[in-house]
Amino acid sequence: MAGNKGRGRAAYTFNIEAVGFTRGEKLPDVVLKPPPVFPDTDYKPVPLKTGEGEDYMLALKQELRETMKRMPYYIETPEEKQDIERYSKNYMKIYKEEWVPDWRRLPREMMPRTKCRKAGPKSKKPTDATKVASLVNSADVLKKIEELEKKGDGEKSDEETEEKEGSKEKSKEGDEEEEDDAAEQEEYDEEEQEEENDYINSYFEDGDDFVADSDDNMDEATY
Amino acid sequence: MTQAEIKLCSLLLQEHFGEIVEKIGVHLIRTGSQPLRVIAHDTGTSLDQVKKSLCVLIQHNLVTYQVHKRGMVEYEAQCSQVLRMLRYPRYIYTSKTLYNDTGELIVEELLLNGKMTMSAVVKKVADRLTETMEDGKTMDYAEVANTFVRLADTHFVQRCPLVPATEKSDTGSPPPAPILVINEKDMYLVPTLNLIGKGKRRRSFEEEAAGEPKAKRLKHTTDNKEPIPDDGIYWQANLDRFHQHFRDQTIVSAVANRMDQTSSEIVRTMLRMSEITTPSSAPFTQPLSSNEIFRSLPVGYNISKQVLDQYLTLLADDPLEFVGKSGDSGGGMYVINLHKALASLATATLESVVQERFGSRCARIFRLVLQKKHLEQKQVEDFAMIPAKEAKDMLYKMLSENFILLQEIPKTPDHAPSRTFYLYTVNILSAARMLLHRCYKSIANLIERRQFETKENKRLLEKSQRVEAIIASMQATGAEEEQLQEIEEMITAPERQQLETLKRNVNKLDASEIQVDETIFLLESYIESTMKRP
């Protein structure tokens, strides 16, 4: 230790010879950069195993990858519109079989909207359904208003209009799939508020049944 | 969850289910369990997309859900399950070797779809097999169902947790999510299906309308109308059972390499006898007497009881301790020490990695430290019989790569270097973990490279696909040889060469992925079995 100091070298607290440097040898430079991304290897890798099994598994793997893309589980990102519409694109489209999950095995919140979506682009059915739904909705709202009038509960009116909005939105959604994104956001907020309201209702007006009931009805109408 | 694992999961999810699912899946892996709205909000994805993605992930058993107190449903990703996707080709190949093409297709369908009802699997597989057969020949449903039953009997497929049937009766307020129940007893119980009749009807139908799309659509509608006999009973591939099989195979081949074919056959017999009786995570198999083993040896194997006993003694005396002797009753009781076997195999893997990365002299030092447990630097130099300077160099190299650890033992409380012992050791568990982590990383790199290669040559690939499609359609319409030739020449010679190179590279990368996964499997099993020990 002391010897090192005397020779003007950086002071180490240990015997530098123990680490493999002879006396007087220059220490390696300090490394100030990360190691190379593709360093030279001293030893070349051993060749891969080959054989019938390996070849078969390789084929399986590649086939599996292709098959997976054709499964209904592969959700593609909506493509951006290209300036030039390519004729060849039409041929490359993959027709997937439809997949309807077993709703019994999934949480309830998974179900309604997804189903609605699935039915969306198809055709007549959704418009009918939404018409009915909106009818039911308006009927519901009317009934609610009546009942509210009886009660004369001022506080409720806020929530009512909100829900009315909600029902309108929902009926719109069936026809207009494209506008989904914008509506999505609103829908999201609205639903959240609904939830908040649920909470407040049950908190302040415990035992007041009809509000909770009509809420349920609203929900079902959208399903 | 390390970064490397997350990266790999992300690549795998993206390849199998597309970018949206990948986004949701990776978010769940990173953050742990989350409710639906939070996922949608945090990922900036529309609620619809999130729901769809979650449906897909739940279908493939990659995400589970749980109901919380306030009626919230939280979703949790199963990272280890995602990584299993790497092994799908191996599962499928194994079922082919065990149960032929039918077994292969059954497992393939189950893996592709996550979970399916038995009737759906049988139908699909029979259809697929019929397609590959010659005209007029068809696959019987009953035959496929038979293979399915065999797969279930050997536990390679199992039932998914069931939705309890009582749910419908209580009208109060249904829970926000079904609570899935596992019925241990029925896990491998195949529902009795009368699939034979259906198969026949379907066959005649198919023969009438060979390949006409109209007829096909018709067929589908009739299918849909039929009530499903095993509705709600879903099956999945039992990956743990496959792993057990892989492990056994590895042990058998290790014994064969170390001793000879006969001893490996004995070990194989022992493993087969305890396949169902021993849980896959047990450290030992059930004790087997040599008499039992003798009776269970394959028929064609002509070795006398005496020779068998000699072999067993030899196996039990082997320093690797794959086989242990647990008692003397019944002509000697023998067990297979599964944990020990895995540990030996993992150690051997580490040794060979050191050898291939740093050379045989480093491997000598590594084995030395492994054997002597703790060594001082001076001792390493002496025992390895390598010049001091080189030995130090090698030792430090391995130290910096984390294959070897350094343990300080101070003589005085001040940790002064001059009064401290520095001992080099190898901790197999941590070295195995480090190596496993590197394997994940290399697979992620391999996948990324493969994707890069395909992306670079995308135009060329699309062109060749198109040309192939044209040729195929022309052949179908009966075009002349000259015309075909002309179209084939649309791909120029250099392009063809480029395609060849691409194909070779992609094949190599794919093959490497499969083989790195074999190492991953071994290391994972070793770590798992070590962690389970009390």
Residues of chain A with Cβ-Cβ distance to B40 below 8 Å are: 188
Specify whether the CB–CB gap between B111 and B237 falls below 8 A.
Answer: yes
Judged against a pLDDT cut of 90, whether residue A183 lies above it is answered with: no
pLDDT attached to residue A140:
65
Contact A109 B73 (CB under 8 A): yes
Mind telling me how many Å the CA of B174 is from chain A's nearest CA? 9
Q: Which residue has the higher pLDDT, B281 or B316?
A: B316
Q: Considering the entire predicted model, what is its pTM?
A: 0.76
Give which of A138, A120, A122 is closest to A183, Cα–Cα. A120
Judged against a pLDDT cut of 60, whether residue B225 lies above it is answered with: no
Residues B55, A98: Cα–Cα separation, whole Å: 14
Average pLDDT of the residues of chain B: 84
If you ran DSSP here, which 8-state letter would residue B489 be given? Answer: T
Q: Out of B21, B176, B180, name the one closest to residue A75 (CB).
A: B21
- Best B15, B37, B43, B51 member to test A by mutation, with max A CBs in 10 Å, is B51
Please state the rounded mean pLDDT for residues B388-398: 89
Helix (H, G, I), strand (E, B) or coil at B74: strand
Contact A105 B507 (CB under 8 A): no
Please state the rounded mean pLDDT for residues B66-93: 88
Mind telling me how many Å the CA of A142 is from chain B's nearest CA? 26
Average pLDDT of the residues of chain A: 60
Q: Which residue has the higher pLDDT, A41 or A73?
A: A73
pLDDT digits (tens, 9 = 90+) for B238-256: 999 999 999 999 999 999 9
Please state the rounded mean pLDDT for residues B182-203: 61
Judged against a pLDDT cut of 50, whether residue B456 lies above it is answered with: yes
pLDDT digits (tens, 9 = 90+) for B342-355: 999 999 999 999 99
Please state the rounded mean pLDDT for residues B457-486: 83
Please state the rounded mean pLDDT for residues A5-15: 58
Residues B471, A44: Cα–Cα separation, whole Å: 43
pLDDT attached to residue B175:
66
Contact B20 A77 (CB under 8 A): yes
pLDDT attached to residue A7:
53
- Best A25, A38, A60 member to test B by mutation, with max B CBs in 10 Å, is A60
Specify whether the CB–CB gap between B73 and B35 falls below 8 A.
Answer: yes
pLDDT attached to residue B8:
93
pLDDT digits (tens, 9 = 90+) for B491-519: 888 888 999 999 999 999 999 999 999 99
Exposure on the CB side of residue A20, measured as CA atoms within 13 A? 14
| Integer CA distances (angstroms), B339 to B247, B346, B525, in order | 11, 11, 9
Q: What are phi and psi of B320, to 5 degrees?
A: -75, -20
Contact B356 A92 (CB under 8 A): no
Q: Which residue has the higher pLDDT, B214 or B269?
A: B269
Specify whether the CB–CB gap between B501 and B493 falls below 8 A.
Answer: no
**Percent with pLDDT over 90 in chain B:** 33
Residues of chain B with Cβ-Cβ distance to A215 below 8 Å are: none
Exposure on the CB side of residue A43, measured as CA atoms within 13 A? 14
Residue carrying the six token digits 């045989």: B360
Mind telling me how many Å the CA of A111 is from chain B's nearest CA? 8
Q: Which two tokens stand for residue B388?
A: 């001091």
Considering just the CA atoms, what is the radius of gyration of chain A in Å? Answer: 34
Judged against a pLDDT cut of 80, whether residue A68 lies above it is answered with: yes
Strand B333-336 with B288-289, pairing:
antiparallel
Please state the rounded mean pLDDT for residues A168-187: 44
Mind telling me how many Å the CA of B351 is from chain A's nearest CA? 15
pLDDT attached to residue A3:
44
pLDDT attached to residue B159:
87
Contact B18 A75 (CB under 8 A): yes
Say how far residue B100 (Cα) sits from the centre of its chain. 19
**Percent with pLDDT over 90 in chain A:** 4
